[in-house]
Structures are given as C-alpha cells and as structure tokens.
A and B are shown apart, each in its own frame.
Chain A
Amino acid sequence: DSGVTQTPKHLITATGQRVTLRCSPRSGDLSVYWYQQSLDQGLQFLIQYYNGEERAKGNILERFSAQQFPDLHSELNLSSLELGDSALYFCASSAWLDRANEQFFGPGTRLTVL
C-alpha cells in the first residue's frame, strides 16, 4: 500500500458526460501528479500540482482540468468524454516539488466510456 488513495476504483459512463476523479496523497506529500494509461497511447503524464499550484503540464487535453485543494487532495475533471478517454488514470504523490524520484502511485481509477 503506497498510502495514495484514489476514488472511485472503477467508473463507467457515456460519451459526452463529465466525471471527477479524486486523489488523496500520502500524508505530508505536497506534490501530486496525474497520469493516463491507455492501450494506444501508453503511459502519459498529464499534470503536476505542488501545494495547490500547477507546476507542470504534459499531454493534458483542454477538456480535462485538475486542481489541488488546501487539504492537498486533488481532483481530475474530465468533460465531454469520448470513447478514447477510456483508460486507467493514476495519481502519484511526492513530498517535494523536485523529488519526483520519490513519487508513490495510487491504485488508479479505471474509466470506461461507452
């Protein structure tokens, strides 16, 4: 158990809908990362937050947004969902901004868009 929690574990929804994925980092970790893993795109870094502020952006679509709250939990919002958004979404956390080598992954949320 990495100490990072993600909810829900599974999510099934329809095209055009909007969903919110939630991540709680390990106790004391200030940095949160979001990743998408799909069969055709592989593992992709989406976005990083540190202590409430966005710090790095990867291949995140404009239909997707994220935020980190004062209690350090983070949410990833996916809107106007398409079939291709079906994927495993991981959240990871690390203690500091520049300690990516110590990031711990959550179990993931499997999103299925029908």
Chain B
Amino acid sequence: AQKITQTQPGMFVQEKEAVTLDCTYDTSDQSYGLFWYKQPSSGEMIFLIYQGSYDEQNATEGRYSLNFQKARKSANLVISASQLGDSAMYFCAMVLRDYGQNFVFGPGTRLSVLP
C-alpha cells in the first residue's frame, strides 16, 4: 500500500537558518507526484512545491526546494533563510496517477522558528 512517512513530529530552527523536513514514500507505481503543503495555525492549506516522478531536476520555489532522491524514495523539503512566518505544520503528500488522482498524506511535521 502507498504510504508517506514523516519521522519528525516537531522541529525547531533559528530564524534565518536553513531547515530540512524529511519525507519518505512507499509506492510501486512508476508515475507519481510529490507535494509539500504548509498549514499555519489559521488552518488553511497552502501549496508549496511539487515534484513529478519523472522530473530529473529538483524542484525549487523561492526559499523552498525539494531534495528528490528517487532511489531512496525520499522527498525532503528544504527551507532556506527561515522566517518567523514559516512556523506551521508541513505535510508531505503523494499523488498516484495510475488510480486517477488518489492522494496520500503524511502525518505532518510541526516547524517552530525561533527568533
């Protein structure tokens, strides 16, 4: 069965430093997409970054980059120059294209940025 694992329930980082949030996934499908979402305390879900399984280059979006290691089935999120506003829950998710657009989410990592 498809599964996303996020082993860090909580993380702390100093403001302006970089932080890596871990995500590993398990699927036998060849075609899939990986996402990261941010959920602040206000509750909304904010899309951060996407990586397709056939994309050869790691995705980047501003201060966010996705460290995609296909052989290890990992898709870690790197946030550079952390800001206080980055404090939130972060979810890693996978979409499996062979079954329509079936999504699987990880349990999330709560990131706290310290001033």
Contact = CB atoms under 8 A, between A and B. Distances in A.
Contacts, number: 60
Interface residues of B, number: 24
A33 B107 CA distance: 19
A12 B95 CA distance: 32
B69 interface: no
Contacts of A44: 105
Given A90-B45, A92-B45, A101 B101 contact: no
- Chain B interface SS verdict (over half): strand
Interface residues of A, number: 26
22 contacts: A2-B44, A31-B101, A42-B108, A43-B91, A43-B93, A43-B105, A43-B108, A45-B104, A55-B100, A55-B101, A56-B99, A57-B100, A88-B43, A92-B45, A98-B97, A98-B101, A100-B33, A100-B35, A101-B33, A101-B47, A105-B47, A107-B44
Instruction: Report, nearest first, the 10 A-B pairs whose CB atoms are least far apart.
Output: A56-B100, A101-B50, A45-B103, A105-B45, A43-B105, A56-B101, A100-B95, A55-B100, A100-B101, A56-B102
